[in-house]
């Protein structure tokens, strides 16, 4: 009997490399929220994109203290 195999589900390969959001930043807070929702739904590609965007998101120097 031949047939299609079930899809492969991969987990996030870098779960411990999440950049820290800057406190008080609405954009960071929204990206963290979106990332958590994507992970909950098993959408690891979308979660990874949120992580990349969070890591590249710039802040004024005074916000990074």
Decide if 47 is inside a domain. Answer: yes
pLDDT at 59: 78
Residue with tokens 């959001």: 21
Region 38-59: mean pLDDT is 90
User: For the stretch 21-53, what's the b/e string if a residue is b when 16 or more beta carbons lie within 10 angstroms of its beta carbon?
Assistant: bbeebeebeebbebbeebbeeeebeebbebbee
pLDDT digits (tens, 9 = 90+) for 14-34: 656 788 899 999 999 999 999
**Residue 4 confidence (pLDDT) above 70:** yes
**Residue 61 confidence (pLDDT) above 60:** no
CB 50 within 8 A of CB 34: yes
Kindly state the tokens that stand for 17. Answer: 């490399």
Q: What is the span of the domain harbouring residue 53?
A: 26-58
Decide if 21 is inside a domain. Answer: no
- Residue, of 31 and 61, whose pLDDT is higher: 31
Decide if 20 is inside a domain. Answer: no
The overall average pLDDT reported for the chain is 83
Cα 20 from Cα 26, distance rounded (Å): 13
């Amino acid at each position: 009997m031949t047939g299609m195999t079930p899809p492969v589900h991969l987990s996030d390969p870098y779960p411990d490399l999440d950049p820290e959001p800057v406190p008080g930043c609405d954009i960071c807070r929204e990206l963290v929220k979106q990332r958590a929702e994507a992970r909950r739904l098993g959408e690891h590609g979308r979660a990874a994109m949120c992580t990349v965007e969070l890591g590249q998101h710039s802040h004024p120097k005074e916000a990074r203290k």
